[in-house]
Amino acid sequence: MRFGTFVDGLSRRAPVIVIFTLCAALATEWIGAPAWLPESVAIIVGSLALALMTSKGRRHGFRTSEELGFTGGSDWLNHELAGKGTPPGFYLLGSFGFLTIMLTGFQSAYAMPAWAGFGLGLVWGIVNVRYPVDEDPET
């Protein structure tokens, strides 16, 4: 398996991985699992987030509003609030990630998978962002 194929599959499956990681964070705390288990999950998921960010990164770097197809600052905000810029489910994953972090405690060993899942969801949203200039007229 090539690394590019792995990263593309990871990008498609990142939301599911985030959901399972958040559930694992809650479950390990509720059952009182040994601390090495959530720490191991956090290391694995954090490594996946790092691999996704370094391989795909920010596809378009920094552009001005005009280059992105916006005429003013409020156009970008309206586009983002309408849910057209970020991938579907990005804000929902972020909300559940933050809620899981609050439920498991901010600094406990059981919060580590929640932080890693939150980070993977954030990276997934950043690398899959779309703006009007990115949209193909054929699709």
Compute the C-alpha angle 121/114/81, nearest 5°: 35
End-to-end Cα spacing for the chain: 29
Going from N- to C-terminal start, the domains of the chain cover 3-54+74-130
Q: Which two tokens stand for residue 10?
A: 């990871």
pLDDT at position 119, please? Answer: 95
| H/E segment holding residue 60 | none
Question: Does the reported pTM lie above 0.75?
Answer: yes
At 37 the pLDDT is 95
Q: Tell me how far apart the alpha carbons of residues 67 and 65 are, in angstroms, rounded to a whole number.
A: 5
User: What is the spatial distance between Cα 84 and Cα 87, in angstroms, rounded to a whole number?
Assistant: 8
Residues in the chain: 139
CA distance 83 to 74: 14
pLDDT at 74: 59
Q: What's the pLDDT at 138?
A: 47
pLDDT in tens, the chain (139 residues): 677 788 888 888 999 999 999 999 999 999 999 999 999 999 999 999 999 988 876 554 555 555 555 565 556 566 666 666 678 888 899 999 999 999 998 889 999 999 999 999 999 988 887 655 455 544 4
